[in-house]
């Protein structure tokens, strides 16, 4: 019983250590995501360019009195949001690279999202 019990305890400790380490890695990988806000006002994005990291989120706010239709056709980062006035929607960017964001209603509206690895 002696050696066997000792072995089991050691195994449990290793398991506990592994769980704690895994948890720390998960927090590092997913817990540091940042949130950004891009407002659409006067048919313009509040900034023409923004740099974020993989996993970060951008909340698009429609502060105009007309609809906006925000979308991206960048491969791997496609999304589409039809927004009534006052609406806000959040998009998570999970692929590194440059993402072109436009509005289907207002062709002059352009936003470049640089997603860093
Ligand atoms: Cu628009």
CATH (residue range 35-116): 2.60.40.420
Supply the pLDDT for residue 32.
84
- What are the domain boundaries of the chain? 1-32, 35-116
Give the distance (Å) from ligand 1 centre to CA of residue 24: 41
Token pair belonging to 26 = 């998960």
Give buried/exposed letters for 80-113 (b at 16+ CB in 10 A, else e).
ebebeeeeeeebebeeeeebebbbeebeebebeb
Instruction: Give the predicted TM-score (pTM) of the model.
Output: 0.74
Supply the pLDDT for residue 70.
98
pLDDT in tens, 3-30: 556 666 677 777 776 767 676 666 665 6
Give the distance (Å) from ligand 1 centre to CA of residue 73: 16
Q: Please, which pLDDT band fits residue 117 given cuts at 50, 70 and 90?
A: very high
Give the distance (Å) from ligand 1 centre to CA of residue 81: 10
pLDDT in tens, 25-72: 666 656 689 999 999 999 999 999 999 999 999 999 999 999 999 999
């Amino acid at each position: 019983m002696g050696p066997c019990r000792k072995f089991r305890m050691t195994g449990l400790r290793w398991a506990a250590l592994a769980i704690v380490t895994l948890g720390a890695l998960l927090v590092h990988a997913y817990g540091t995501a940042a949130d950004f806000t891009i407002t659409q006002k006067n048919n313009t994005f509040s900034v023409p360019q923004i740099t974020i990291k993989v996993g970060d989120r951008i909340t698009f706010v429609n502060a105009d009195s007309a609809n906006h239709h925000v979308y991206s056709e960048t491969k791997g980062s496609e999304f589409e949001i039809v927004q009534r006035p006052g609406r806000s929607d959040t998009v998570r960017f999970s692929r590194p690279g440059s993402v072109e964001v436009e509005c289907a209603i207002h062709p002059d509206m352009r936003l470049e999202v640089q997603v860093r690895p």
